[in-house]
Structure 1
């Protein structure tokens, strides 16, 4: 569609708007938002009918969840992904290999999450399929995406840059495959761990997507990237359109996921969205900045790691419950307090991450 519209722009000047990434990013946001708004109720009704008892709740989790969240359907990630994919296909330049690499990771991770959700719902257990098999599939998908970026990307594809340090870049060579795959898989699972309260994961995902949409646009522009002293990545600006689609689909989903949630995104959504953020970070060569912008997801992941290591070594728990959002629930914070305060943290971290662009 984009190619056709730009072709006719020579005869009808207003169509020139479709040449601008900023315009198409706004269009992608609006399209994804209205798509999810329109089809959301139908998807929720279908999932509720198919799932019956809904998502099983962790028995070792907060007891209030067994009452308030029991019976709520999951796999709401299907709403997000459908809006995101449709919008991206309509508004993005489909000749751009970065767009396809990110979509490949998103759909692949979404499929893994969907199968995991399916097993949990049908077996009525909070355990999905083999963790090792799941991780192996994630690594395979992420590795293929990174290989495509290496094969089709520019001369600096395998370089690693550090925030706030101008002129330094470490060429990872073939090790980029392992490093890039690690970033993508880690991001996917970090968002997955964060998805534990109504609205908790989706807003920080949108905030991170907005930050990386800006970074993608700047990195894909030779003038801006030269001024800021960041790697110029030809074609990366098109990922701003994908980020816009994430924000639109996320806003639509939040309408139905706001407390009390009518639907959960499940692993279908959280794993896919985390993988998407990781893939964009790898594509625009800002992997380290992802640790800052997505610091909330990092914190959630570290809380689980610390809890497990501490319990195995000492038999004691550092937190009352992990991930850390449950710890604050156990301290007496209400669910809305935890969610909104974590949103604020995510927003502040995104601002810090963006500020590194000018500190070079």
Structure 2
């Protein structure tokens, strides 16, 4: 299996970063294969939700595989450019957004989603429109399309940035998958959804099957990915899993819960963006050479120092 040393991973600022460079990568190929075997055996392949999730898994997986292949096999540390990755992600996200909004198989006569921590938790995107009449309808659809695109791209990139830590990406995505699966199951049952004040979405029970396959594959991969990791999932795994999480959240109308569910991923993404922006303006690093630039490891180091003192 290809090794991380050839891939030129970003420096994590922790003591064992050099050792991680020699860890095999592209383990996400096996995650995708495991998911697809389960999906082909147990999912209803005619269900629109399954079709969208399968397309997302394979599309993002192919994008990540291309990036890893260039880095590892072609020995080109640059891989795909940021622009090329973004174009690939945007193309998929736009296709998913158009399908969700205009497919007759998906009930979107109301552009609603779920707000956390609020009893009357349904939020209608039409409330964002300052216009009335047909212009207001167009504005609402545009806002909903934009939100779907942003969610898918943000989730995919956030998980990708978190990949590399021992068990972090696989473990946290598995937990997020369990929560989304639970929401999908409750939302597919008219009795339970009414009792728990969750939007009833017929047909989303199939999302549970797909998510269960993903959680099972991630749990199996976690056996080999916990510290000290024997293999990393690479971009082929992280981009695919992140994309599936984003699409699944959109399909079950829980996209606004993602900042809470995916707090680790988003904090990592914000950390990287802040550091890149700081370096661009000051030409200096935001953290010391001996400090961790990774949010979860920064927290761990802080707690350890607090305990020792």
Structure 2: gaps (5+ residues)? 127-139
Give yes or no for the alignment of 1:306 onto 2:261.
no
How far, CA to CA, are the matches of 1:157 and 1:120 in structure 2? Answer: 44
1:346 is matched with none
2:22 is aligned with 1:77: no
User: 1:111-143: CA deviations, max 9, x gaps?
Assistant: 100010111113435421111111011011111
Query: What displacement does 1:215 show?
Result: 0.5
Residue 111 of structure 2, aligned match among 152, 158, 165: 158
Distance, in Å, in 2 between the alignment partners of 1:323 and 1:63 is 9
Of 138, 149, 166, the residue aligned with 1:181 is 149
Task: Measure how far apart 1:60 and its partner are.
Answer: 3.9
Shift of residue 330, structure 1, vs aligned partner: 7.1
**Secondary structure of 1:115 counterpart:** helix
Question: Which residue number in structure 2 is paired with residue 290 of structure 1?
Answer: 258
SS of 2:125's equivalent in the other structure is strand
1:105 alignment counterpart:
56
Taking the aligned partners of 2:44 and 2:173, their CA distance within structure 1 comes to 23
- Give the 3 Å change call, closer, same or farther, for CA 324–280 of structure 1 in structure 2: same
Give the Cα separation in 1 of the matches to 2:171 and 2:301.
22
Per-residue CA deviation, residues 231-266 of structure 1 (Å, 9 max, x unaligned), is: 221111211111111111011111222222221100
* 1:75-126 deviations in Å (ceiling 9; x for gaps): 1001111001110121122221011101111111111000101111134354
Taking structure 1 as reference, are residues 62 and 279 closer, same or farther at Cα in structure 2, changes over 3 Å only? same
Name the structure 1 match of 2:88.
Answer: 137
In structure 1, the partner of 2:72 is: 121
Partner of 1:247: 215
**1:341 is matched with which residue?**
none
State the secondary structure of the residue aligned to 2:202: coil
What's the offset of the Cα at 1:290?
A: 1.3
Distance in 2 of aligned mates of 1:89 and 1:59: 36
- Find 1:196's aligned residue among 164, 188, 192: 164
- Report whether the alignment pairs 1:209 with 2:177: yes
Give the one of 243, 265, 269 matched to 2:233. Answer: 265
Partners of 1:249 and 1:141 lie apart in 2 by 23
Gaps of 5+ in 1: 1-47, 335-360
**Residues 67 and 291 of structure 1, relative CA distance in 2, 3 Å threshold:** closer
Q: CA deviation at 1:304?
A: 0.9
Partner of 1:28: none
Structure 1 length as normaliser, TM-score? 0.72
* TM-score with structure 2 setting the length: 0.84
Is the alpha carbon distance of 1:297 and 1:156 closer, same or farther for their aligned partners in structure 2, counting shifts above 3 Å?
A: farther
Residue 274 and residue 119 in structure 1: after superposition, are their counterparts in 2 closer, same or farther (change >3 A)? same
Whether the 8 Å CA contact 1:62–1:326 is kept in 2: the answer is no
Distance 1:222 1:202 in 2: 32
CA–CA distance in structure 2, aligned partners of residues 329 and 310 of structure 1: 23
SS across alignment from 1:160: strand
Kindly report the root-mean-square deviation, in angstroms, between the aligned alpha carbons of the 2 structures: 2.4
Q: How many residue pairs get matched?
A: 285
Structure 1 counterpart SS, 2:117: coil
